[in-house]
Amino acid sequence: MTEAIRIQLRVNGQAVERDVEPRLTLADFLRDELDLTGTHLGCEHGVCGACTVLLDQEPVRACLMFAVQADGRDVGTVEGLSRPGELTDLQASFRRHHALQCGFCTPGMLTTAHAFLERTPCPTREEACEAISGNICRCTGYIPIVDAIVATAEARQAQKAGGRP
Amino acid sequence: MIGRAQERNEDLRLLTGQGRFVDDIKRPGMLHAVVVRSPMGHARVLGIDASAALELPGVVEVITFADIAPWARPIPQRTCPLPGMENFLQRPLAEDIVRYVGEPVAMVIAESRYIAEDAAELIHVDYDGLEAAVDAHAAAQNAVLIHAAQGSNIASAYHVGRGDVDAAFRGAHYTRKERFYVHRHSAVPLETRGLVAEWDAAAGHLNVWGAGKVPFANRGILAGMLDLPPSAIDMIEVDVGGSFGVRGDFYPEDFLVPFAARLLCRPVKWIEDRRENLMAMNHSREMHCELEIAVDRDGLIQGLRGQVLSDLGAYVRTNSGVMAGKGTQFLQGAYAIPNLGFDVRAVIPNKTPAGTYRGPGRYESCFFRERLIDIAAKEMGIDPVEFRRRNLITAAQMPYDAGPLVPGQPTTVYDSGDYPTVFERGLAHFGYDALQARNGQLIDGRLHGVGLACFTESTGGGPGEHARLELRADGSFDLFVGSSSAGQGHETVMAQVLADALGVPYDSIRVHHGSTTYLKQGFGAYHSRSAVMGGSAVLKVGQAMQRVLLERAASLNGLAGPQGLAWREGRVVREIDGAVIATPVALAAGLPVCGPHERGPVSVETSFENDKLTFTFGLQLAHVSVDPKTAQVKVEKFLCVEDVGRMLNPLIVHGQTVGAAVQGLGGTFLDEFIYDEDGQLITGTFADYLLPVATDFEHVDALTLELSPSPSNPLGVKGAGEGGIIGTGAALSNAVSNALSGLSVSVTRLPMSLDRLAATMREARNAEGASA
């Protein structure tokens, strides 16, 4: 077995230091070493998007990265999106639109949509569809997920414009 | 609360990464298992050399057939066994022959999954390749025998029918025969399968996490195979990442993982990877059908007959009979057809075994029938809508005896429904009349087509469901149900039902489901039954709790009995003046001096039993446009219409319907398990096995009606989980055929993937050229 390598990174704002096998994927590191099991593995070949996490705010597939590649970086997972016991506006919108059923794809949908809305605060419906087109959901048919993302953007814009929630 | 679009309780944990799926379970000292699978479609196993694997540090054990031989009984059928199928059952590991790519031949157990996967590569299995029979028709010839001892690859063959179908055809004004095919695809839930098993040697007790669908039935099967009493096993349901029928029936690994945990006296986890999931979890749908229709001068269908060939894969699994059995039963659909006759064969080729996938048999038979109806209507010069109108079963014909068409099962009775009214409502909502004018028209370079399909769906599979209710000291309730969940929302819906049954606040109810630890007995989630059977059990347990609490209130107040007391808004009141006699908190506290039944927590357990299925009716309508150069189909508009009697939670029903429809759209255009002639699966990753994504089908909607409550259960509900998928293949193929009618294309085979539809268009062009 290859020697372990020390990595230092920030995960959901917390400094983390661990010795890891070079071949350990970032997804397994988060799930098994840090017990952040919200990051799910649906295919382990980079297609389904369930394992999407934020690496320096950008969505990446945690199954296609090694933990050592996250050394010195900032990693955000679904657990870090909201404060304990609370939902963000995006999460609440997912709930309101019934944008999740089994919930297995949901963490990846949320991290992807979160980053998308940061970049694209006023998306069209087509842009929202495109943004999550790399994430597979088998339950919802995607339509309510797109509804939830678009509604979140609209509510944020309305709040900005008129101060209405 | 019933009927309210209540947001789901489940969502809070699932949205914040706090869900607990089976791969999130960790036990002290836990080992990790990897299954070694056959890379050959058909081969003799000459030997297995695990010595190199066992030398790898961290490897604990390698299990092969020799290790499990004393326990290696065939995995039994759970539902819809067809005569003869019992001879083709699978054992947990292959002995001397492997019969499909993906068949388990060994299991490696190691200290980590990484090591177990390294070790799996070091196991040398010596295979001697055999000729494979891959296509169902080829397998049916029996040139290659897959289970040699049986002397045939036909697992089951039978005839069912009613009336005098041959006379109906002899006397018919018009007859038409066509051959159809539905391709092999399946549910492919996003979470792969997985289990964690832990054996407590001191207590002689086994815990299995990751149970789903039918935990109680699987406990019985596992207990039988491990020679343990069922009470020595607990199946524990955690969050489940989708099932759609394929998860939770008893698979080889459901034996192997608990077996390994007991053998090694350490917890063992197995998580399937996606590649093995695509070759090992039940496939479904693959069916050939030659169907023939007889119609009289007035456009009334007088007879339907044909041959059904169901492709089972290499073994019969727990529910493999459903597709052929129920598929044939549903061939008549929603039409009053007096004469029926079907020859059914279920055949064993060298492919992954098949089981039920959402709308099993229904999707297939709906496609066969509804395509044939469109073909017949067109040839007879009758509008396809008018043709259906003439033949739909009417409300006056309810309950309608659809005949005994499944061997060993009683006659099928459509219990209720006003099909013509639902039909007209659906057409109007879709704007069918205006849209159908575009049939075959070239608009902006695309050919447009509109099509529809009608279906009936049986829901509420028996025999019953159990529920237990406990009143807590703070006046809240814990509700335990035998229904298992795969993401539908039982924690929300069951609480809605109980809140109404008891008149207590929705927030005062916690719902626990699925695990065998909760109840004496339970049945689970299949056959769109949770609302019907589980919901009715919850209603019943709420009523039973009311009776118990009225008795207790009487004792508490020194009354002889509950006469004159009533349960109102979650409290016991005096009927005469409405004065509150006891609150749940007071009732939970019990009496200062009393018998054993009156003190401490109140617990009530009941069951709802019912063998009568309840039937929905629906139609689906599609508007498509096809690029005549590339064969690329765009679904411009798709509508699901279904009468489910009564909705417990419209938000959830709508989500189930639209989600099912998009699954069906994907199944009709994209998903396909493709094998080469040696039985090699060549769509074994998500790069090859294509699932729909967010940009594929953006215009899907549902109209759910509550016109005909079910007479078979006290809630009046009919199952809503599967209807959305059933008519997709049929409606879309009718729409595409209408779009391409000018090119003489008639779709008779699915999927309508780019390459296959393009090939169909080429063939039609060539045939035209040849005849010109």
Option in A43, A79, A140 nearest B659 (CB): A140
Indicate whether A128 and A155 sit together in one domain. Answer: yes
pLDDT bucket at B593, cuts 50 / 70 / 90: low
Indicate whether A68 and A117 sit together in one domain. Answer: no
Give a yes or no: residue A127 inside a domain: yes
pLDDT bucket at B448, cuts 50 / 70 / 90: very high
Per-residue pLDDT of B315-334, as tens digits, reads: 999 999 999 999 999 999 99
Q: Which residue of A has its CA nearest to B14?
A: A103
Share above pLDDT 70 across residues of chain B, in percent, rounded to a whole number: 98
d(CA B242, CA B240): 6
Indicate whether A75 and A93 sit together in one domain. Answer: no
Option in A36, A129, A138 nearest B694 (CB): A129
Give a yes or no: residue A165 inside a domain: no
pLDDT of residue B508: 97
Per-residue pLDDT of A86-125, as tens digits, reads: 999 999 999 999 999 999 999 999 999 999 999 999 999 9
Residue B442: in which H helix or E strand, if any?
strand B442-443
Indicate whether A64 and A102 sit together in one domain. Answer: no
Contact between chains at B655 and A144 (C-beta distance less than 8 A): yes
pLDDT of residue B415: 97
Question: Strand order in B446-459's β-sheet?
Answer: B442-443, B446-459, B614-626, B633-643, B700-705
C-alpha closest to that of B481 among B527, B437, B512: B512
pLDDT of residue B769: 81
- Mean pLDDT, residues B228-257: 97
In the chain, the amino acid numbered B391 is: N
User: Which CATH number does the domain housing residue A101 bear?
Assistant: 1.10.150.120
Residues comprising chain B, all counted: 772
pLDDT of residue B702: 98
d(CA B643, CA B275): 39
Cβ count within 10 A of residue B209: 23
Cβ count within 10 A of residue B141: 11
Q: Is residue B557 classed as helix, strand or coil in its secondary structure?
A: coil
Question: Please, are residues B761 and B629 in contact by the beta-carbon 8 Å criterion?
Answer: no
Q: Provide the 8-state DSSP code for B534.
A: I
Q: Does B759 touch chain A (CB under 8 A)?
A: no
First to last CA, chain B: 66
Contact between chains at A41 and B23 (C-beta distance less than 8 A): yes
Give a yes or no: residue A117 inside a domain: yes
Q: Does B163 touch chain A (CB under 8 A)?
A: no
Per-residue pLDDT of A5-15, as tens digits, reads: 999 999 999 99
User: Which CATH number does the domain housing residue A58 bear?
Assistant: 3.10.20.30
pLDDT bucket at B462, cuts 50 / 70 / 90: confident
DSSP assignment of B470-523: EE-TTS-EEEEES---SSS-HHHHHHHHHHHHHT--GGGEEEEES-TTS-S---
pLDDT bucket at B173, cuts 50 / 70 / 90: very high
Question: Please, are residues B625 and B735 in contact by the beta-carbon 8 Å criterion?
Answer: no
Token digits for B455?
């279906």
pLDDT bucket at A164, cuts 50 / 70 / 90: low
d(CA A95, CA A104): 14
In the chain, the amino acid numbered B174 is: Y
Indicate whether A106 and A155 sit together in one domain. Answer: yes
Per-residue pLDDT of B190-200, as tens digits, reads: 999 999 999 99
Around A2, how many Cα atoms within 13 Å sit in the side-chain half-sphere? 10
- In terms of C-beta density within 10 A (0-12 exposed, 13-18 middle, 19 or more buried), how is residue B769 classed? exposed
Indicate whether A66 and A98 sit together in one domain. Answer: no
Token digits for B108?
């490696």
d(CA A52, CA B444): 39
Q: Whole-number mean pLDDT of chain B?
A: 96
Per-residue pLDDT of B745-769, as tens digits, reads: 999 999 999 999 999 999 999 988 8
Q: Provide the 8-state DSSP code for B375.
A: H
pLDDT bucket at A155, cuts 50 / 70 / 90: very high
Residues comprising chain A, all counted: 165
C-alpha closest to that of B257 among B277, B235, B282, B287: B235
pTM over 0.90: yes
- Final residue in a domain of this structure, among A80, A115, A139: A80
DSSP assignment of B231-299: GGEEEE--B----TTSTTS--HHHHHHHHHHHHHTS-EEEE--HHHHHHHS-BB--EEEEEEEEE-TTS
pLDDT bucket at B336, cuts 50 / 70 / 90: very high
Question: Please, are residues B305 and B342 in contact by the beta-carbon 8 Å criterion?
Answer: yes
Chain A partners within 8 Å of B20 (Cβ): 37
- Final residue in a domain of this structure, among A60, A80, A100: A80
Indicate whether A145 and A107 sit together in one domain. Answer: yes
Q: Does B239 touch chain A (CB under 8 A)?
A: yes
pLDDT bucket at A163, cuts 50 / 70 / 90: low
A20-52 burial by CB neighbour count: b if 16+ within 10 A, else e? bbeebbbbbbbbbebebbbbbbbbbebbbbbbb
pLDDT of residue B597: 52
ipTM of the complex: 0.98
d(CA A46, CA B357): 26
- Final residue in a domain of this structure, among A62, A80, A98: A80
Indicate whether A70 and A120 sit together in one domain. Answer: no
The number of distinct structural domains making up chain A is 2
- Mean pLDDT, residues B259-275: 98
Q: Does B20 touch chain A (CB under 8 A)?
A: yes
DSSP assignment of A27-41: HHIIIIIS--TTS--
For residue A61, the enclosing domain spans 5-80
Give a yes or no: residue A119 inside a domain: yes
**What torsion do the CA atoms of B480, B486, B488, B493 make, to the nearest 10 degrees?**
0
Per-residue pLDDT of B79-124, as tens digits, reads: 999 999 999 999 999 999 999 999 999 999 999 999 999 999 999 9
Per-residue pLDDT of B546-564, as tens digits, reads: 999 999 899 888 899 999 9
Question: Please, are residues B496 and B8 in contact by the beta-carbon 8 Å criterion?
Answer: no
Give residues 296 to 325 of B whose Cβ lies within 8 Å of A.
none
Give a yes or no: residue A40 inside a domain: yes
Indicate whether A34 and A101 sit together in one domain. Answer: no
Chain B partners within 8 Å of A141 (Cβ): 658-663, 692, 697, 700
Chain B partners within 8 Å of A102 (Cβ): 14, 189-191, 239-242, 486-487
Chain B partners within 8 Å of A94 (Cβ): 11, 15
Give residues 112 to 131 of B whose Cβ lies within 8 Å of A.
114
Per-residue pLDDT of B601-659, as tens digits, reads: 689 999 999 989 999 999 999 999 999 999 999 999 999 999 999 999 999 999 999 99
pLDDT bucket at A142, cuts 50 / 70 / 90: very high
Q: Between A and B, how many residue pairs show a Cβ–Cβ distance under 8 A?
A: 174
Token digits for B181?
């095919």
The residue among B16, B270, B493 with the most chain A CBs within 10 A of its CB, best to mutate, is B16
Chain A partners within 8 Å of B189 (Cβ): 102, 104, 138
pLDDT bucket at B677, cuts 50 / 70 / 90: very high
Share above pLDDT 90 across residues of chain B, in percent, rounded to a whole number: 95
First to last CA, chain A: 55
B363 to chain A, closest Cα gap in Å: 17
Indicate whether A40 and A103 sit together in one domain. Answer: no
Indicate whether A100 and A70 sit together in one domain. Answer: no
In the chain, the amino acid numbered B133 is: A
Token digits for B130?
């055999």
pLDDT bucket at B591, cuts 50 / 70 / 90: low
Indicate whether A151 and A99 sit together in one domain. Answer: yes
A77 to chain B, closest Cα gap in Å: 8
d(CA B662, CA A138): 9
d(CA B558, CA B551): 11
